Chain A
Amino acid sequence: MKKLNIIAISTFLFLMFSLTSCQKKWIDTSMNQNPDAITDAPVATLLPAIEVNMGFALGGNDAVGITSMFVQYSFGTSNQAATMGGYNIRPADMTNFWASMYSQAGMMGTRIMMQKASVDQAPIYEGISKVLMAIYLGNTTDLWGDVPYSEAFQGAANLQPKYDKAQDLYDTVQGMLTSAISYLQQPASGTDASLSSSDYFFGGDANAWLKVAWALKARYTLRLSNVNTNWATDVISIIESAPLMSSNSDNMALNFGTSPTANNPIYMYEEQRAGYISNNKGFFAMLADDSLDVGDGTYMGDPRSLIYQQPAGTSQYAGLYYGQKDSPTVFMTYAEEMFIAAEAYHAAGNYTKAMDYFVKGMTASIDMFKGKDATYDANADAWLAAKLATYTGGADSPSLQDILDQKYVALYMQTEAYNDYRRTGYPNLTPLNAAGIPDRFPYSQDELNYNKNTPTTTIYNKLFWAK
């Protein structure tokens, strides 16, 4: 019995000893860091992801794709596109889009980049991040109204961010742009040198970004035209004193590529969901109706229809400029800035200047699409001259409606047209059914499920700045 006990006890002791002496080295919790992932990334690697995400998400199928059906640039022919085009749009349809705006390379990444640029003392990066943040936030509140911002982006520290009032958010956007403008005017630092390759929009050109920032300020001032009585004065002061866009090379556009993993999102949609969306017959009928003499008694409708419409035998509903593999997605154009100016001067009663900028806007739009189609290149200028000749000046020619109708044609495949329609009621659209064109997007199902501060609304609750 004794011998037994000794052996038994010593066996157990041996086991205990061997294990405990090894344990510290064997169970090393520092090996729980994924060696194939990074916990930090430099600004030069964050910016490209943010810009591509903006191009793909804000310029893509959940934003432009849907608003284009609402303002009748396009028509939902089948499946989910027909459902949404018929104004049957639900919170569950918004989950991917909302997540792209808020998490990862949307506003979350932009915010991280802004903070890093500040720590790294790279003023151009910081200025650019603020412009991009203003675009993300501006577009988000344009579509959804009240959205989270001041309490957002805190992760587990605040799982129920409150929804800020849209009125306050436009102030935030303006403040962000003003700050951006101040940073963009500072001398570039060493870190900013990497912008020449990381910035797809302008290669780090601070002046180009400055013009965009001012143009955005003008756009967001215009947005409040129904509620801010001074709006026209404010826009005019920007037009008269700030650096302005002066040609289409100043446009803020993300260019996609021909390789299969770099295609434009609208092109990808047309390939994967061929036949879901097609040209809107009413829009193209309207363009055709604008038939003018382009010389020698030849009559031609608005030549931009050659660029906008679906090329024969293809499913590319967005046309030659916006629907190809390497098409750009566009965020701010020279043409838009000119139309903003025209509308401001018209509201202020200065019809000469209004006409001036109206002409610039139309010319900018016509010029933007040159180089895609031979017939267009041959005739567009002649058509433009004939068209401009139909405006005689004064309050009614071009009238406010004329300005907005032409802005509508120029802004084909851009979300800004949906904003203008809600703000002014122009162009005069006939809804497809009795429900009517929605006044906003529904909140994402994820917010409804997981954030108890999400307000209850319908898609027919007008935003505070709408007509």
Chain B
Amino acid sequence: MQITNSSGAAGSAPFVEIRGSSSILGNNQPLYVVDGVPIESGGGDGTVDQVAYSSRTVDINPDDIASISVLKGGAATALYGMRAGNGVILITTKKGQKQNGLSINFSTSTKFEKISQVPALQNQYSQGSFYLGAYYGSSYMDPDAPYYNGASWGPALSTLRYTTDPNYVPADGATTSMADYIKYWDPNGRLVDANSSFASSKKAIAYNPYDFFQIGVAADNNVSISGGNDNTTFYTSISNHTEKGVIPLNTLNRTTFSINASHKAAKNLTFSTALNYSNTYANRKQQGSNISGVMLGLLRTPPTFNNAYGYMFTGAYRTGQERSYRNGGGYDNPYWVVNQINYADETNRLFGNFTAKWEIIKDLNLTYRSGLDYNNYYSTNNYAIHSRAYPSGYSSPLNSFTMDLNQDLFANYKINLSQDIQLTAMAGMNAYQHRYKYVQAEANGLIIPGWFNVANSSSVMGYQGENEYRTDALYYDLGLSYKNTLYLDATGRYESSTTLPEKNKAFFYPSVSLGFVFSDLGALKNSEVLSFGKLRASYAVTANIPTAYNTTTYFVQQAITDGWVQPQQINFPFMGVNGYMPNYIMGNPDLKPETAKSWSIGAHLNFWNNRLVLDGDYYHRINSDLLLNVPIAPSTGYQDRYQNAAEMKTTGFELLATVEIIKSKSVNWSITVNWSNPKSMVTKLSDGVPNVFLGGFTEPQVRAVAGQEYRSIYGLDWVRDSKGQLVINDQPGEFYGYPIPGTSQIYLGTVSPKWTAGITNNVSYKGFALNFLIDIKHGGLMWNGTLGALDYFGTSAETANRNQDYVWSGVMGHVDANGNVVTTGTVNTQKVKLDENWRFWDGYGSGFTGPSSPYIENSGWVRLRSVTLSYDFKQAVMKNVNWIKHCNLFFTGYNLWLSTPYTGIDPETSLLGASNAQGFDYFNMPGTKSYTVGLKIGF
């Protein structure tokens, strides 16, 4: 199972995959099932310019969870239907028990969080540009510069000094006196050349943009009460999580309440019900590539500008407008982003179930379970006037609800067919409905500053939409066991969905699995070495349905924009008149469900009574008829068509080993290692579809390509010779001695890792327990788009070498008029400079001007994901205190140590959140490490 946290922002969504990927555009994440009822766990997707959203897994109170198990492979998931095609995470919540009196549990913890690794920045050169032969800087430094230069290719800080000479009046027309200048721009004064007659002795300061981040604090408190007698049990809990993130003003609060009760109404009739309510509200801040992302402004800021000195002009100069190093152009000052732009959302969620179980006769019972998952989501996205993305201001409220109703009626039966053979049978039916509706308003242009309300605009657009579909199914599970040695299990599910066309709406998918416990046979029966050994094999078919409303082509009321001015756009009604156009996606009346056929073989071996446990599986899965929005040539009149268009093969091993190294009364030490290497290959794409764009930019892109591993990165590379060496330009001219950029996008590698592993150590000594988890990801590439941009602007640490000689390693050559590489094979010795011209103006030395291949980096890691030290007071010192049932104090550190070749932020990141386009880092928020201290006590 692979989990990727998408961001260090409070409330961001994790992306979970079990046994690799199964779908290209659809959902690859597993189904979450709570007490037998599947719940909504989606959300958490992003586009390249949004905030990190939560997925709905954030609504579950972790303190209510009694156990989590992962169901893999087709056999287990055939029982939960099509949504379980990617695996199931089974969560069982705590219940009450028969006992004397009440159990009261209280837990509290506090977490301190700070950012982990960040891109290195240079602190030697100031704002401006040297290329044009004259110092062409920023108006606040150089009165002759016509505009505020966006780059940091200016003079070296060592050659600059401050001046506060009241007679040195800036001629830029903006500020009228040195006093004004100091008030608006820099309290230290204006920067001038050290040899200037106005220079003081005060050297130029390099400000550190990373001072922007703060220590995040989160507090968790939970109280639960449970109890019961022979007939009735109950469990109830209330919890609160309050969090301030490492980004100022990024907050998340969640309160949950749950109640779980069961009652035995008659000897053979039991009712139980569970209700969970959670309220989550968050204030989120922008990341990524749009104009108003925090990291964009933060990392491009030249060392000589201090963002913290103020984000808004409050005096006479440009009152109310933004103070940034571009003076109103470029990107927002990050302090402006967190103070003036807010994405607030509140979710109220209720999920639960009602279950009735009737024991008809011994070994035959009937269960009815009805589950509800309802949530209401309300969000407002607000931009203050003068924000760069919406200079006139913007406010958009959205109100939506999702309601899922899931009903199951099933019977269980058990019978001994003979002394050695036992049969267990289960059969049932399921009906499921999903409904989603939303209403949204968008006010583009606010009149009264500071009031974020759709009434405060003269241009308001309204949107409404919905999504509804139903499924139903008949299912069975038959198990035969022979002498507790041989097991045979067969399942089947016959399911229909409204999202398929009438002719294809029903589908049947079976599975069969075999288990053989060989440790009880013959000579092995009383073996001291092998305590338990089981071999297993299974074959299963599962399916996946299309999303709703894809069988028809629609007309839409769509905003008009282009790639340059987004998010600005033209809305209809335009000048009072409404307009519709054909949708860019074609409907498809021939849709079929996706199917997955998988088989696996494995073994579970237990030696010396649990001293060594080995468990392993090999699995092979083919996903066919995968549903994709296939891009098509726009000259067909459409841009995409939703169709069954691909086939993918995933294979891999999953291995687990647990060793109890020391086992004694006072000291215990065990190590568990797990290792998996899912490899997903796209085996076929339908005719006319050479590849599918999964996400990213124009260059590079993450694509699904026939014959390649899933999630392939395509982009431009330097021209290379047949041996793969760089070809260094041997033609006289500007680029003599530099590499040559390629012109067509090629395969640069895959995002998916080669293997992942985890090592868990559990040590206990008397009352102390130490547990630490080392997480390893080997291989996998990520596009460091941030570095590509910072090289362009001259703020990255590697551009500090701009005045030094550099020799590219490669062979001399060039590309001829026919596009062929011509090389003499001579090793390059030409010294060149990686200066402003190479990076910014005419050259190819950055992510904007040249190929992206230099910025595709290995994103593997070894990290100390968690360390927990806990002390069990009860066992150690309170053994005889009966009214305290348990008492633990714990300290946990997350992500305390990270080793990775990736040079940007923590590579466990995803620009696009929990979506299929993993592998992009373009001004993503940095990762974090944290320290938690907590206490759990039970009465």
| Minimum Cβ distance to chain A for residue B116 (Å) | 31
Q: Is B732 an interface residue (CB 8 A)?
A: no
**Do A37 and B445 touch (CB < 8 A)?**
no
Q: Kindly supply a per-residue 1/0 record for chain B positions 573-587, scoring 1 wherever the CB is within 8 Å of any chain A CB and 0 otherwise.
A: 011111111111010
Q: Is B699 an interface residue (CB 8 A)?
A: yes
Q: Which residues in chain B, 69-115, are within 8 Å of chain A measured between CB atoms?
A: none
**Do A451 and B575 touch (CB < 8 A)?**
no
| Minimum Cβ distance to chain B for residue A308 (Å) | 18
**A97–B743 Cα gap in the complex (Å)?**
21
Q: Which residues in chain A, 417-449, are within 8 Å of chain B measured between CB atoms?
A: 444-447, 449
**Do A449 and B631 touch (CB < 8 A)?**
yes
Q: Kindly supply a per-residue 1/0 record for chain A positions 437-465, scoring 1 wherever the CB is within 8 Å of any chain B CB and 0 otherwise.
A: 00000001111011110100000000000
| Chain A residues with CB under 8 A of B689 | 450
Mark the stretch among B348-356, B424-432, B523-531 that contacts chain A.
B424-432
Q: Is B638 an interface residue (CB 8 A)?
A: yes
| Minimum Cβ distance to chain B for residue A6 (Å) | 11
Q: Is B833 an interface residue (CB 8 A)?
A: no
**Do A260 and B632 touch (CB < 8 A)?**
no
Contact of A152 among B570, B635, B698 (CB under 8 A): B635
**A160–B688 Cα gap in the complex (Å)?**
8
Q: Is A369 an interface residue (CB 8 A)?
A: no
**Do B498 and A15 touch (CB < 8 A)?**
no
Q: Is A70 an interface residue (CB 8 A)?
A: no
**Do B498 and A31 touch (CB < 8 A)?**
yes
| Chain A residues with CB under 8 A of B317 | none
Q: Is B548 an interface residue (CB 8 A)?
A: yes
| Minimum Cβ distance to chain B for residue A149 (Å) | 8
Contact of A7 among B330, B361, B391, B469 (CB under 8 A): B361
Q: Which residue of B lies closest to A42 (CB)?
A: B580
Q: Is A268 an interface residue (CB 8 A)?
A: yes
| Chain B residues with CB under 8 A of A259 | 444-445, 458-459
Q: Which residues in chain A, 327-384, are within 8 Å of chain B measured between CB atoms?
A: none
| Chain A residues with CB under 8 A of B466 | 34-36
- Please report whether the interface of chain B is mostly helix, strand, loop or mixed according to DSSP: loop
Q: Which residues in chain A, 37-65, are within 8 Å of chain B measured between CB atoms?
A: 37-41, 45-50, 52-53, 56-57, 60-62, 65
Q: Is B768 an interface residue (CB 8 A)?
A: no
| Minimum Cβ distance to chain A for residue B208 (Å) | 26
**Do B470 and A148 touch (CB < 8 A)?**
no
Q: Is A248 an interface residue (CB 8 A)?
A: no
Q: Which residues in chain B, 538-563, are within 8 Å of chain A measured between CB atoms?
A: 548-556, 558-563
Q: Say yes or no: A262-B459 contact (C-beta < 8 A), given A45-B578, A109-B581.
A: yes
Q: Say yes or no: A37-B555 contact (C-beta < 8 A), given A161-B636, A257-B575.
A: yes
**Do A52 and B639 touch (CB < 8 A)?**
no
| Chain B residues with CB under 8 A of A107 | 637
| Chain B residues with CB under 8 A of A148 | 633, 635
**Do B639 and A99 touch (CB < 8 A)?**
yes
Q: Is A156 an interface residue (CB 8 A)?
A: yes
Q: Is B604 an interface residue (CB 8 A)?
A: no
Q: Which residue of A lies closest to B438 (CB)?
A: A36
| Chain A residues with CB under 8 A of B570 | 52, 56, 256, 261-263, 265
**A193–B474 Cα gap in the complex (Å)?**
57
Contact of A29 among B428, B502, B559, B565 (CB under 8 A): B502
Contact of A450 among B471, B472, B501, B631 (CB under 8 A): B631
| Chain B residues with CB under 8 A of A315 | 329
| Minimum Cβ distance to chain A for residue B845 (Å) | 13
Mark the stretch among A76-84, A207-215, A229-237 that contacts chain B.
A76-84
| Chain B residues with CB under 8 A of A97 | 562
Q: Which residue of A lies closest to B362 (CB)?
A: A4
**Do B633 and A161 touch (CB < 8 A)?**
yes
Q: Say yes or no: A260-B459 contact (C-beta < 8 A), given A39-B553, A41-B555, A271-B568.
A: yes
**Do B459 and A105 touch (CB < 8 A)?**
no
| Chain A residues with CB under 8 A of B328 | 274
**Do B549 and A33 touch (CB < 8 A)?**
yes
**A36–B463 Cα gap in the complex (Å)?**
10
**Do B638 and A272 touch (CB < 8 A)?**
no
**Do B842 and A49 touch (CB < 8 A)?**
no
Contact of A28 among B428, B498, B552, B699 (CB under 8 A): B498
Q: Say yes or no: A22-B431 contact (C-beta < 8 A), given A61-B564, A272-B565.
A: yes
| Minimum Cβ distance to chain A for residue B471 (Å) | 7
Measured as residues with beta carbon below 8 angstroms from the partner, the interface class of chain A is: 35 or more
**Do B562 and A62 touch (CB < 8 A)?**
yes
| Minimum Cβ distance to chain A for residue B82 (Å) | 13
**A148–B291 Cα gap in the complex (Å)?**
36
In the complex, the number of residue pairs spanning A and B with C-beta atoms less than 8 Å apart equals 301
**A36–B557 Cα gap in the complex (Å)?**
11
Q: Which residues in chain B, 606-654, are within 8 Å of chain A measured between CB atoms?
A: 631-639, 641
**Do A48 and B637 touch (CB < 8 A)?**
no
**A256–B459 Cα gap in the complex (Å)?**
14
Query: Which of A36, A46, A103 is the most central at the interface, judged by chain B CB atoms within 10 Å of its CB?
Result: A103
Q: Is A11 an interface residue (CB 8 A)?
A: yes
Contact of B474 among A16, A108, A112, A197 (CB under 8 A): A16
Number of interface residues of B (CB under 8 A): 106
| Minimum Cβ distance to chain A for residue B690 (Å) | 6
| Minimum Cβ distance to chain A for residue B634 (Å) | 4
Q: Say yes or no: A56-B560 contact (C-beta < 8 A), given A33-B552, A159-B633.
A: yes
Q: Is B569 an interface residue (CB 8 A)?
A: yes
| Minimum Cβ distance to chain A for residue B443 (Å) | 9
Q: Is B184 an interface residue (CB 8 A)?
A: no
Mark the stretch among A88-96, A119-127, A406-414 that contacts chain B.
A88-96
Q: Which residues in chain B, 652-705, are within 8 Å of chain A measured between CB atoms?
A: 687-691, 698-699
Contact of A32 among B459, B551, B556 (CB under 8 A): B551
Q: Is A389 an interface residue (CB 8 A)?
A: no
**Do B633 and A104 touch (CB < 8 A)?**
no
| Minimum Cβ distance to chain A for residue B936 (Å) | 44
| Minimum Cβ distance to chain A for residue B863 (Å) | 36
Q: Is B156 an interface residue (CB 8 A)?
A: no
Q: Which residue of B lies closest to A80 (CB)?
A: B848
| Minimum Cβ distance to chain A for residue B406 (Å) | 13
Q: Which residues in chain B, 130-170, are within 8 Å of chain A measured between CB atoms?
A: 147, 150
Mark the stretch among B215-223, B275-283, B409-417, B853-861 that contacts chain A.
B409-417
Q: Is A275 an interface residue (CB 8 A)?
A: yes
| Minimum Cβ distance to chain A for residue B458 (Å) | 6
**Do A260 and B409 touch (CB < 8 A)?**
no
Q: Say yes or no: A60-B562 contact (C-beta < 8 A), given A8-B364, A108-B582, A451-B633.
A: yes
**Do A260 and B390 touch (CB < 8 A)?**
yes
| Chain B residues with CB under 8 A of A156 | 586, 588, 632, 636, 641
Q: Is B500 an interface residue (CB 8 A)?
A: yes
Q: Which residue of A lies closest to B564 (CB)?
A: A61
| Chain B residues with CB under 8 A of A50 | 579, 581
Q: Which residue of A lies closest to B291 (CB)?
A: A272
**Do B565 and A61 touch (CB < 8 A)?**
yes
**A23–B571 Cα gap in the complex (Å)?**
43
**Do A275 and B636 touch (CB < 8 A)?**
no
| Minimum Cβ distance to chain B for residue A54 (Å) | 10
Q: Say yes or no: A86-B580 contact (C-beta < 8 A), given A108-B638, A148-B635.
A: no
Q: Is B485 an interface residue (CB 8 A)?
A: no
Q: Say yes or no: A26-B555 contact (C-beta < 8 A), given A260-B390, A272-B568.
A: no
| Minimum Cβ distance to chain A for residue B588 (Å) | 8
**Do B500 and A29 touch (CB < 8 A)?**
yes
Query: Which of B582, B632, B634 is the most central at the interface, judged by chain A CB atoms within 10 Å of its CB?
Result: B634
**Do A29 and B498 touch (CB < 8 A)?**
yes
| Chain A residues with CB under 8 A of B632 | 156, 159, 450
Q: Which residue of A lies closest to B588 (CB)?
A: A156
**Do B698 and A93 touch (CB < 8 A)?**
yes
Q: Which residue of A lies closest to B328 (CB)?
A: A274
A446-B633, A451-B633 are known; give 8 further A-B pairs, CB within 8 A.
A8-B413, A31-B468, A39-B555, A109-B581, A259-B459, A260-B390, A260-B568, A454-B633
A-B residue pairs in contact (CB < 8 Å), sample of 11: A15-B429, A34-B552, A52-B560, A52-B579, A56-B562, A156-B641, A159-B632, A200-B577, A259-B458, A445-B698, A446-B634
